[in-house]
Structures are given as C-alpha cells and as structure tokens.
Structure 1
Amino acid sequence: MILGVQFRGQVPANTSRRWFTHSWPEAWRVDWTVVPTWPLVDGNAQVEWKVQVDRQASSLVKYFIEIRNLTGGPVDIEARYAVLNS
C-alpha cells in the first residue's frame, strides 16, 4: 500500500472548493480521504467530500475532489490518498 498527502488547502466558511489531480495509472485502486487540520474541533463534522474521475488517456485517470465546508469558519484540509493495489 502507498500512502500520501496529495495537496493541502483551505475551504472558506459554508462553501465548496474543487481540486483535481492527474496522471494516475488507471490500474491503481486509489482511495481518497479528506482530513481537517485546522481549527482543532472535537464536535460535529467539519467537511464532506466527493470524488469524481475522468479518463485522461488510455492508461491514465484524473480525479476531481470537491470538498464542502460544513462550518461557519474557514477550514484547512489535507487530501490524502491510499493506493490499495500498486
């Protein structure tokens, strides 16, 4: 298994932002997770996300990750990946 952080960013209060990451081998099974890194809050969920995929070439895919901030303040995030079958 390969683990890593693909990007970090900030999502303003009550909004969504969309990122993309490209040139992933199409044979890889990639699992995406978004983790809030600031502010430190032990309470309700701060973010939710969805992942969409596009075939950019015969052997490559591009992922689109949309992250929605569920709070009334900005939230810093990390988009983490796990390649399950490299």
Structure 2
Amino acid sequence: MTFFNDPTLLLIVIILGVTVILLQLYIESRRKPRELPRITRTLLKCTKCGNVLEIDYEEGDFISLVKGKCSKCGAPMKIQAIYTIEVKQPK
C-alpha cells in the first residue's frame, strides 16, 4: 500500500498542511507592528519677524499660502511646511 493510494492518509496530510499554513499566517499577522495614528500639522512663519506657529492642517493649505497675521508684529504669516506626526498612545 502506497501513501497516495490511501485516501484517508492523503486527507490527513492535506488538512495538516492547510492548518500549518493558516497558523503561520496568523502568527505573522500578529507580529507586524501596527501603524500609529497620525495627525497633519501646518507650520506658519511670519514674513517680517520670523515668528513660528504650528497649527492643525486644514483642507486647502499649501506651501507659501498667506494665512493669518503674526501675533507679535501683525505682518502676514506664510505656510512654511506641512507634515504629519505620530500620535503617541498611552500604555
């Protein structure tokens, strides 16, 4: 009697193989680091005195957009940078 002629043994081997593959995929998916949530920030810089202000990003913001006035000297503030930062979650 050969291995491939016995349907019961063949079925057991197939079930064990599928189980091992599924277990490996499950363990691998649990091991991947989860991506931390991010928030988008906008950096404003005064065109006159250089005062810098970081605010929340708003739709339509782009680099060099004049947005608001400086709180120190009243000159226009331009968007200098737009970037994202990770939100640290408490453990």
State the TM-score, normalizing by the size of structure 2. 0.27
**Higher share of residues assigned helix:** 2
**Higher share of residues assigned strand:** 1
Higher relative contact order (CA 8 A, sep 6+): 1
State the TM-score, normalizing by the size of structure 1. 0.28
